Amino acid sequence: MMPVGPLMLEHRFIERMIRIMDKKIQIMDKEKKADISFIDTAVDFIKNYADKRHHGKEEDILFRDLGKKQLSAEHKRIMNELVKEHIMGRNNVKKVVDAKESYAQGNKDALKHITENIGMLIKFYPKHIEKEDKHFFIPCMDYFTEQERNNMLKECEEFDKKLAQVEYEKIVEQLEEK
């Protein structure tokens, strides 16, 4: 069934960070104060782990290879939606960064934009992940031969060597302990 197993495990890890982000923005809302250090950590996680590592494998390996197949209209539609959702997520992260920089320069009203855009990511990821897990990844493996799936898995493993997993595991574990 590979390579969706590793992608789905990454989903569980992303969900852990999303739960932390949800708790943190509730605290920021309550205290009416941005936690700049946490925002930087969350942005780094989303940009580098969720987007560069996870979405990178989806787009650069799985979607690329699916693009060579005769997909059903439904699977083609879902894949196009997923790509658009990845772009939307990137745009939200940019809005968080812009609002955080504005806040750091003294614009306390930017807190609202920080929490709104992090809130959008918190709402986005569970729905996005559910769509991939339940409606896309597993059925799309039927388009591939066992050899093609094994080749994608090897390519995913090579892709992963470029980005540090252990570093993000430590960050999430530390945040969960707080």
Q: What is the pLDDT along the chain (178 residues), one digit of tens a residue?
A: 446 777 888 999 999 999 999 999 999 999 999 999 999 999 999 999 999 989 999 999 999 999 999 999 999 999 999 999 999 999 999 999 999 999 999 999 999 999 999 999 999 999 999 999 999 998 999 999 999 999 998 998 888 887 767 788 889 999 999 8
Predicted confidence at residue 1, as pLDDT, reads 46
Rounded-to-integer distance, Cα 29 and Cα 119, Å: 11
First to last CA, the chain: 37
Residue showing tokens 């309550």: 30
User: In whole angstroms, what is the distance from residue 2 CA to residue 155 CA?
Assistant: 11
Tokens encoding 125 = 């990821």
Q: What is the pLDDT of residue 12?
A: 92
Q: Residue 102: which domain range?
A: 4-177
| HSE, side-chain direction, 13 A CA sphere, residue 133 | 15
Residue 161 confidence (pLDDT):
82
CATH of the domain at 16: 1.20.120.520
| Number of domains forming the structure of the chain | 1
113 in Cβ contact with 102 (< 8 Å): yes
Angle at 115 between CA 111 and CA 116, to 5 degrees: 110
* Residue type, position 55, single letter: H
- pTM for the model: 0.91
